[in-house]
Structure 1
Amino acid sequence: MIKLVVTDLDGTFLNNKSQYDVELFKKVYAEMQQKGVTFVACTGKQCERVEKLFDEHGKGVWILGDSAARIKKDGQVVKEFSIDRDLALQAIDQIQDFDNNMTLIVCASDAAYVHSSISEDMYKVVKGSYERVLKTDSFANIDSRFIKITVFDTEGRSTALRAHVENTLGGQIYIVDSEARWLDITALHTHKGETVKKLQEMLGVTFEETMSFGDGENDVELMAIAKYSFAVSNACENTKKAANFITKSNEENGVLLTIQKILDLQ
């Protein structure tokens, strides 16, 4: 019997316009609650952005946000996994050494920070995934705990950037290039798979009782924590290979329709 459903958002639960079928979600989520199934949004988005996304429909939803570096439920932070400050600043230096014109988003416990020189167009891109955004003249001036570092590169060089940072900090931090334009850095061993395992322990849910959905490179670990792991049909090849099943695409409500079918069987 399924007790836990974990899904990535962008490219998986959300369609290509970053939207979801609200009416279908309300119907499926009501059935999940009736049957005692916990729903988890596991994403690179800031927790507060996810709260706004689900709005009044998200009561009881667990959010593993900021690339699973924060756990939040019903407005309360349950747990955070911060990066050592010195390592975070070293990583920022390495990124800026690679190309100082990339868009850096430094996520801290109080907000996501961008450089004050950010263009209006890039600021709009950031606001698509981050609700609380502050500008700073120097990331070294951030007083709160570092949670995650994200890079958006319009030239799609995330793989090369990852190699550059790993040359200095490999084995000390966790780095994933989720797609060509996006790269995320979190504390070592902090990623979607490990954070879901911690949540499974908190909730007393097993691997056999878990269902997961994903599409990107950063969802490969998400496929390993659930017996019923699904890649949407638009997923990258590595995630498809890691998944036990393939379902419909993010444009076809693949996640919600699959959950609905499984719930009908239990």
Structure 2
Amino acid sequence: MNANPNHIKLVAVDIDGTFMRTDYTYDIPRFKAALARMTKVGCEFVVASGNQYYQLRSHFPGYDHELSFVAENGALVKAHDQLLFSANISREAVEKTLELLKMHPETKTVMCGLKSAYCQRGTVSAEFFEAMKKYCHRLQWVDDFAEVDDEILKFTPTVPAEKTAYYTELFQEQLNGALVPTSSGNGEIDLIIPDCHKASGLERLVQHWGITPEQCVAFGDGNNDLEMLSYCGRGYAMTNAEQNVKDAADAVCPTNDEDGVLVTLDQLFPES
């Protein structure tokens, strides 16, 4: 891919372990300067994450409307302030998933909806609820998942980290295509509708803006970034990424704590 900024029309970044440092900060002035240079040459900046839209938006106060979002691992897509897509899991698939999760009480589940995310009383601790607020700024307690009135975008069960592969395989087998598991690290597994991932979200934006995948650049560090890194004309893995992610990428950039995304954006979109 040509590194000339005039040829890059979309830059997509994962958040945790990629754009944000470990302490959940980033160099705001440096990013705003890079964003201004990108905007000048007609390049869109897309935040692509498994996290909730409201959480992602909060990292860019006052200028979130300048950005676009692929949230909930592709289950929600916004082009600036325009909602392009929201997944709506069928009632049948919701019920099937709830029954399966009930059979495995060691799983701690967040059910993610369009209006809010939800935890069911009696299944997770108050500490877990508070910890999940880091990723879901709109999070509510409910007595019964089955009674929630919302469009359900995905489920996120947290499992013992050492059992991630076991549960990923179990969900794949038991849900039989109704929902598909994708691991986002730390024992968190997203259950999403088939063919719904970060790359499918980017595809919606690409079509919306009339550009091509070859004109896109992506940054990521985890397994849920693999489709996105492959889809885009150029994919960067962070130095802190897992080896299989580095293998799937075209290049490796510095770690998230070394501002690897911003370092690379400064190279791709240099000051004139």
With normalisation by structure 1, the TM-score equals: 0.94
For 2:118, the equivalent position in structure 1 comes to: 113
- Structure 2 letter corresponding to 1:114: C
For 1:82, the equivalent position in structure 2 comes to: 88
For 2:220, the equivalent position in structure 1 comes to: 214
Aligned partners of 2:9 and 2:43 also within 8 Å: yes
C-alpha deviation, 1:58, in angstroms: 2.2
Matched, 1:102 2:131: no
Aligned partners of 2:88 and 2:152 also within 8 Å: yes
- Structure 1 letter corresponding to 2:115: D
For 1:153, the equivalent position in structure 2 comes to: 159
Q: Secondary structure of the residue that 2:153 maps to in structure 1?
A: strand
Aligned partners of 2:110 and 2:156 also within 8 Å: yes
C-alpha deviation, 1:156, in angstroms: 4.0
- From 24, 28, 46, the counterpart of 2:30: 24
Cα distance in 1 for partners of 2:66, 2:242 equals 30
Aligned partners of 2:65 and 2:81 also within 8 Å: no
C-alpha deviation, 1:132, in angstroms: 0.9
For 1:10, the equivalent position in structure 2 comes to: 16
Matched, 1:177 2:183: yes
Name the Cα RMSD after superposition: 1.7
- From 241, 254, 270, the counterpart of 1:264: 270
Mind listing any 5+ residue stretches in structure 2 that lack a counterpart? 1-6
For 2:261, the equivalent position in structure 1 comes to: 255
For 1:238, the equivalent position in structure 2 comes to: 244
Aligned partners of 1:104 and 1:149 also within 8 Å: yes
1:38-87: CA deviation from partner (whole Å, max 9, x where unpaired):
00000011101111111113232001111110012445433202222211
Matched, 1:65 2:50: no
Cα distance in 1 for partners of 2:177, 2:159 equals 23
Higher alpha-carbon deviation: 71-80 or 38-47: 71-80
Cα distance in 1 for partners of 2:38, 2:192 equals 31
Cα distance in 2 for partners of 1:264, 1:239 equals 27
Go from structure 1 to structure 2 and tell me whether the alpha carbon gap of 1:93 and 1:197 turns closer, same or farther (over 3 Å shift).
same
- From 196, 200, 203, the counterpart of 1:197: 203
For 1:35, the equivalent position in structure 2 comes to: 41
With normalisation by structure 2, the TM-score equals: 0.92
- Structure 1 letter corresponding to 2:110: I
C-alpha deviation, 1:95, in angstroms: 2.3
Cα distance in 2 for partners of 1:152, 1:25 equals 32
Aligned partners of 2:159 and 2:167 also within 8 Å: no
Aligned structure 1 segments of 4 or more residues deviating by more than 4 angstroms: 73-76
Cα distance in 2 for partners of 1:91, 1:237 equals 31
